[in-house]
Structure 1
Amino acid sequence: MNSLNNEHSLFLTLRDMVFLKSKWQLVQYSLFELFPESFIKNFKSSRSGVWPIMKEIFDNIRKQRLDNLMEKRNDFINLLLELGKEGKLYGEELGMGENGRKRQIEIDFNENRMIAQLFIYFVAGFETASTTMSYAMHELAFHPEIQQEVQKEIDTVLAKHKNEFSYEAITEMHLLESVIKESLRLFPPAGVTHRMCTKDYIIPEVNVKI
């Protein structure tokens, strides 16, 4: 999509539609966080124009893949397309069924479900990664002595790997990993994760029922 050099990229348009919120939308989000049960049926987390853009992105990538059948890519899109050929997904339900047993479920994995998965992949990977990197660089700017140590480690590891980035090289950058983890501790991009309790549970230490 050439999103780094093309200011009119669909990815950037999608970013603005998903992450830039009006004051009213921020109020809605706050109310939803406080009273999810009351808002769950009517709450819309994105604008109506998001779906057509997601479909256009998906159609563009799928056409590229079909036009280059000899080029195999081991990535998320390829996995979605392979699952689309299967047509159905089988697995266990998330909650507990009757007699404490999980029911087997069957899902039609059509184009709409593929686009929905692509949307979640985009949202989860875009904002969280950029926020984490931004705060990490922000903290390094206020701690130049750590910044120098990180730079030294990166230079040393890359020199060992012929100045080529690779998974193996990055796993050897232990100080850089510590900086990322400390940034996540100080500024977690996802501060709260909501979950629905599937059955009653009593916390033994305080005798509180969930």
Structure 2
Amino acid sequence: MKGIHSVLAAFTLLAFVFSFASASDPGPLQDFCVAVKDMKDGVFVNGKICKDPKLAVADDFFFSGLNKAGNISNPNGFSVTPVAVDQIPGLNTLGISLARIDYAPYGLNPPHTHPRGTDILLVVQGTLYVGFVTSIPDYRLFTKILNPGDVFVFPVGLIHFQFNIGKSEAVAFGGLSSQNAGVIAIANAVFGSTPPINPDVLAKAFQLDKDVVKDLQSRF
């Protein structure tokens, strides 16, 4: 199985590189950028400050560890090991990143979005039920059951999820068309924001009793 994982992982990396070779980050790489008049109060945006090319070394383009399973002992039973610009500085400006996702039996990568990148997923172990929902006006749900070797694409910005429907652990690799695609976990953002959203707002939005909303907020 380890040999198969290595071959598939290598294939995945090559496929992502060729698929996104011409990719770039046309939009912002942070949630917001407040304008300032004085440069000394400002920060560099849309990427990171570049190292002098003469000082670059091979380790700037290297990461080791995707052969190791992540910690899935959490309520949702999943773990993400990212390989983005923070892990490989050489990814800066290249518009691509990678992640390993581990799932416990019946583990869930809950509904979330990547506001700055399309996500392409390759399953290498286990069976996943995956899907995404389109935007207004239809809110169409697209779902598929994936087995080892299957690939599924989640378009940029759309809510999506992965659920391990098997009795054993599952592993997948995801490629993203951004060096920093961002993640918004829907439940955490809505019920776990700091400070909390007014329960009256959420009660009306979700058509729930206010006490139910408060209970949900306490869980996040």
Could you tell me the TM-score, scaled by structure 2's length?
0.25
Greater fraction of residues in strand: 2
Could you tell me the TM-score, scaled by structure 1's length?
0.26
Greater fraction of residues in helix: 1
Of structures 1 and 2, the larger Rg is shown by: 1
